Amino acid sequence: MIDISKVNQRYGGTQILWDLDLAIKPGSCTCIMGRNGVGKTTLLKCLMGLLPIESGEILLEGEALHTKPAQFRAPAGIGYVPQGRDIFPTLTVEENLRIGLPIRKDKAKQIPEKIFELFPVLKEMLHRRGGDLSGGQQQQLAIGRALVIEPKVLILDEPNEGIQPNIVQQIGDVILKLNQEEGLTVILVEQKLGFARRVGKEFRLMEKGRVVASDQMANLSEDLIKQYLAV
């Protein structure tokens, strides 16, 4: 589904991603894990075209993605929930959700009802400004906004950072539903081990800008945790 090969990326003189290889299978839910600063967010930004790569390639269903400017990546079928959410605080919930509508292939004029079934709070808050929502509600809005385009792949960068436990539970339920019942491919950067184990089917461990271990989530051993995740 997504094939990343030999990707190198640098911020000025500092190289962050080193010949990074990563393959994502259709219908999988893959957690990308690793200590702070190993390059997880940088990798997602490269996938979304928000950062240029120096070399290597990124393919989506066999077609080159890395040659497409950022604005063509969502229409190619990638929904992205960035770290820190990045909702538009002065726009209403409805306006935030409508942003993806023009790039839908069917040019739908209405926000799909499914978004409100997944996140009923967004219907209640439809006319409130995004900036007035709680952190957890904003995160639900960011996920809803990414789903409006009906993506083939949903990418989430630490969706539970600073979110209260009951909303973390709800976000987990939604990811599980989308992945297991609807077959949506999910890529999740996640620091919380419990959450990763609950929703992830596979893991990829990163260290120093490379993927150093890949397996089914059930095989994430204490040794690997100690080596690549413990602080």
Ligand X SMILES: Nc1ncnc2c1ncn2[C@@H]1O[C@H](COP(=O)(O)OP(=O)(O)OP(=O)(O)O)[C@@H](O)[C@H]1O
Written as six digits, the tokens of 22 are 């990563």
Segments in 38-188 forming alpha helices (H): 40-48, 93-98, 113-118, 120-124, 135-147, 165-176
DSSP state of 102: G
Written as six digits, the tokens of 38 are 């190993």
Nearer to ligand X, 149 or 186 (CB): 186
Q: How far is CA 228 from CA 27, 34, 35, 38, in A?
A: 26, 6, 7, 10
Nearer to ligand X, 28 or 42 (CB): 42
The residue type of 78 is I
Nearer to ligand X, 97 or 186 (CB): 186
Compute the least distance from the CB of residue 48 to ligand X, in Å: 13
What gap in Å lies between CA 56 and CA 54, rounded to an integer?
7
Compute the least distance from the CB of residue 212 to ligand X, in Å: 13
Q: Interface residues with ligand X (CB under 6 A)?
A: 11, 14, 16, 34, 36-42
Nearer to ligand X, 38 or 93 (CB): 38
Compute the least distance from the CB of residue 187 to ligand X, in Å: 13
Written as six digits, the tokens of 3 are 């094939």
